[in-house]
Amino acid sequence: MIALLSGACMLANRCVQAQATAGSAKGFGYDDVVQQAMALAKQPFDAESAKIPAELSNLTYDSYREIRFRRDKAFWREGGSDFRLLPFHLGFLHNKPVQVHVINHGNAIPIPFTTSLFEYGKVPVPKSLSPALGFAGFAVTTNLNDPKVQDEVVSFLGASYFRLIGRGHRYGLSARSLALNVGGEGPEEFPFMRALWVEEPSRDTTELVIYALLDSPSVAGAFRYVVRPGRVTDMDVTATIIPRRAIERIGIAPLTSMFQAGEGDLAQRTDFRPEIHDSDGLTLQSGSGEWIWRPIRNPKALRISSFGDKNPRGFGLMQRDRDFGSYQDLEARYDARPGYWVQPQGDWGEGRIDLIEIPTVNEAFDNIVACWTPNAPLPSGQAAEFRYRISALSTTWHLHPYAQVQQTFNGSDIEDGVAEGKGTKRFIVDFAGGDLAYYQSEPDRLELVATTTAGAITTKILTFNAPLKGVRAIVDATLPDGQSAELRMFLRARNRTLSETWTATWSVPPGDAAGPQSPKN
């Protein structure tokens, strides 16, 4: 295999290959990728160099799915490592070539493209494709769930997207290396990977090191990803971003997910499945230490929620509901989708965590984005570094000792004999865990703290929820026409906080005789 790779050096992209094989005396590493990014940022963006042959870009969705990497050709099969490298074929929407390299003994060696690495099914085998064509990205497999079985643990495919999973997970939400102008005025810009490097693992390697060179009209960037597979799969990310021009709105550690319908969304259901989503909430820990849960919803119009902060301790999109009965989907298995938890390393300064929710009627399209947006623009030509850890989780119970939100509903009081009126809404939130079971014999010692930024809280009810060994909080709120409000509620006993803070926004459109909009999760 090394001979095969070595023979490809002369066939790779000249600019990338020349810098990739040079490296330092200690071998190719992250500093070399940063140097490439800085050199790239000084040049005008080259859109023409990333085009692929029409016979690949014209592939349909179904024909592209016919093309699969041959598992018997996986790299590192014979080296004794538990890792395997499987490149992705270019084609269909994946039309930006990525030069993929293996770093062996400090030397970055490009992998040449050849059709012999792939099975094409019913698709005619392409002719006369250059060995320097590149790939769409790659997947890495390892013994994640069974010592005898190779399962995917991480993949890089499309723009700057990547995904990672832990033990027992199915692929669900995605992460991105960088987001530009997401949720801002004008079109979003999608940086893409021009090159990827992977350090060849040894027999005893338990982590995988990957580097990436990113490019876009506005920025160039260097990234380092260190992947540690396991029950919880962790990835340490180092990002160096060099703007070609001043960047006003940049998304750091962006997460992308899908939410079509949750437990309170009767109107959103289009078939027999009760819920359809990859994630059901945004969880975050502010710089001051407060834990917050925001239910995700499928809004009627684009909605952006911002959580201003300084040096946040963490944020993520989670799939807390892991009951198969909530989804009833034998193929998608939404109950097995992971959550992603981002922990900043070092101080990120002042900014905000943005949650962007886009209306959708189709589960095939992602409509949820969460990211950190710094307040200060990034100046042109000035490198900025961000470091963080992203973890693929099944649960958030280990993150903090407080009771957590399990379900959110909204509805009327008709069954209680009090009809919900215009500008009035009832919010029902179930909390469980933490120390709530301790108060089962004396629930009166619990206090429900609820606030609103506009309108008024008219009713607060707290009831012990025996099936959950927790409590159900009920809040009625009123709001004048044409106003919006943010509601917050949490539990405490005396002055001791017992739960994370639930928060949601709702609004009453001007002259809306049908009643207010409300959270739908």
Give the per-residue pLDDT at 45: 95
Cβ-based burial of 264 (10 A; exposed 0-12, middle 13-18, buried ≥19): buried
Give the per-residue pLDDT at 184: 84
Distance, in Å, from the CA atom of 88 to the CA atom of 96, rounded to the nearest integer, reads 12
Both tokens assigned to 261: 């319908």
Cβ-based burial of 327 (10 A; exposed 0-12, middle 13-18, buried ≥19): buried
Beta strands in 363-521 (DSSP E): 368-374, 384-393, 404-411, 424-432, 447-452, 456-465, 470-478, 483-493, 496-497, 501-508
- pTM (two decimals): 0.91
Give the per-residue pLDDT at 414: 35
- Each residue's pLDDT tens digit, 32-41: 999 999 999 9
- The domains located in the chain, with CATH, are 1-244+381-400 (2.70.98.10), 249-376 (no CATH), 404-508 (2.60.40.10)
- Supply the angle between the helices 14-22 and 30-41 in degrees, to the nearest 10: 140
- Each residue's pLDDT tens digit, 194-204: 999 999 999 99
Q: Are 282 and 504 in contact (CB under 8 A)?
A: no
What 8-state DSSP symbol labels residue 454? S
Task: Please list the ranges in the chain whose pLDDT falls under 70.
Answer: 1-25, 267-268, 411-422, 512-521
